[in-house]
Amino acid sequence: MKGLLDDAGAEETIGRLRGLLKGRADSYEIYFSLQKGLGVEARDGAVDALKGRSSKGVGLRTISGRRLGFAFTSVLSDGALSDLVESAISGSTESSEDEHLKLPGPQQGPAEEDLGLFDASFGTRPEEDLIRAAVEIEEAALSFDPRVKRVRKASCSESLGAGRLVNSNGVDITHAATYYSGSVTAVAEAGGEAQMGWEMGTGHKGTDVDGRSIGSKAAENAVKRLGARTIKTTRCGAIIENIVACELLEALAGSFLGDSVLKGKSMLAGRKGKKVASGALNILDDGALSGGWATSAFDAEGTSSRKTALVLEGVCRGYLYDTYWAGRAGTASTGNAVRGGYKSTPGIGITNLYIEKGERGFETLLKELGSGLFITELLGVHTINAVSGDFSLGAAGFRVENGEITSPVRGMAISGNLLGLFSSVAECASDLRFIGSIGAPGLLVEQIEASGT
């Protein structure tokens, strides 16, 4: 990994900046970033779009007299690096003093090579192979059932993200990960009706993405929804599909961030140690999760990654912090500093946030439900109020009768409160699935009210 970054100029750039910064700031942080990627979209068996990207640059944070300065550049010449230092130093003289500004020191983290994040074959595969993979996804969807008439955005992508972080306290760490993904939306038509089905696959290794499986599953999801009918307003038990549960957890994610809590912009503010969800629910954030989409040995400012329990048996156990907001809260960082790249300073974010899976399988929970609804789609999850948790969302899914999934239903509306919904979870299934860095199993819910016709 270090060789990869040094080939891009990391060692030389960092060395020059260290020299330029000597005696100029009380403390500093240098972040060198390298990004590469290629994405393909297929249509009608051929390339519809081919997008490549490559960038590198360096960001610099300085602290002088409790004042923060920041600057970045993608130009790595001597003159540009000298200007970078001047910009950061001068910026710190114009900012206000803040006693909580500080940088972490060296820490012991997990070995990055043991986390399953890097595919050494990255960049060796011809573009034609990635094109064929996208075409394969499209073909698998179209060949699944004659009612699948077309697809939208059959795509594949591969990318590399690497960085080296050095600070004046002795931190010197590197990170590199490869990312592979494939996705498609299939459209099925019958009797003047059209339904869409979506599927995706992701992983850190090229072999993690099975194009045929992605295409077939998207088509299956579309076909199963044909013939959906509206229902009368009902109050019943339900199972929320794992993908939908991921969306709901993502809506709650911001409430775990320490800055939101301190600012009173979290529905969990002031609720540490209190029951906020069902006793069947455990929510964790794990930056060191093997193979996780957001896994790394250290966070974006050099604090070691770790697993943090946020909700255990329904009780709020804590929040997520970076160094700065931990100082503001009078606690320690949880290793949750994240950054969008060299053009930005770190802030608090989730890593691999997930609801812990249960012991029983999805089919067993269906039998446990007996009759009710299987919710496979919620519309407008992004509109859930981030502070109160109140929501009113469109929904679709299937009837469940005698423990079996039967007819598709649509045109429902579900309203309530997010924490209230999580409080009604009777059991978590064992089918934990991650969509990016958010994971959840299927959730058996004691009761929902679905407004229909």
CB–CB of 428/356 below 8 Å?
A: yes
Q: What is the CATH number of the domain that holds 164?
A: 3.30.2290.10
Residues 102 and 209 in one domain: yes
Q: Return the closest-CA partner of residue 29 out of 14, 10, 47, 43.
A: 14
Residue 153 and residue 182 share a domain: yes
30: tokens are 């240098």
* pLDDT for 302 beyond 90: yes
**Strand residue runs (E) in 298-442:** 307-312, 315-316, 337-338, 347-348, 353-355, 372-379, 390-401, 404-417, 425-428, 433-435, 438-440
Give the chain's end-to-end CA distance (angstroms, integer): 59
pTM score, two decimals? 0.96
Among the candidates 170, 190, 221, a domain finishes at 221
In three-state secondary structure terms, 215 is: helix
Strand partners, 309: 284
285, 336 contact by CB (below 8 A): yes
Give backbone dihedrals phi and psi of 282, rounded to 5 degrees, phi first: -120, 130
What are residue 231's phi and psi, to 5 degrees? Answer: -130, 165
Is the domain of 334 the same as that of 295? yes
- State the residue range of the domain holding 449: 228-453
Residue 240 in this model has a pLDDT that exceeds 70: yes
Model confidence at 3, in pLDDT bands (50, 70, 90)? confident
Is the same domain home to 252 and 152? no
Indicate the number of domains in the chain. 2
Over the stretch 212-222, which tens digit does the pLDDT of each residue have?
A: 999 999 999 99
Q: Which of 204, 221, 238 represents a domain boundary (last residue)?
A: 221
Indicate the pLDDT class of residue 94, thresholds 50, 70 and 90. confident
The β-bridge partners of 85 are none
Specify if 159 maps to a domain: yes
pLDDT at 291 over 70: yes
Domain boundary among 221, 247, 269: 221
| Positions of E strands within 326-369 | 337-338, 347-348, 353-355
Q: Is 395 helix (H, G, I), strand (E, B) or coil?
A: strand
pLDDT at 125: 85
Task: Please tell me whether residues 53 and 95 are part of one structural domain.
Answer: yes
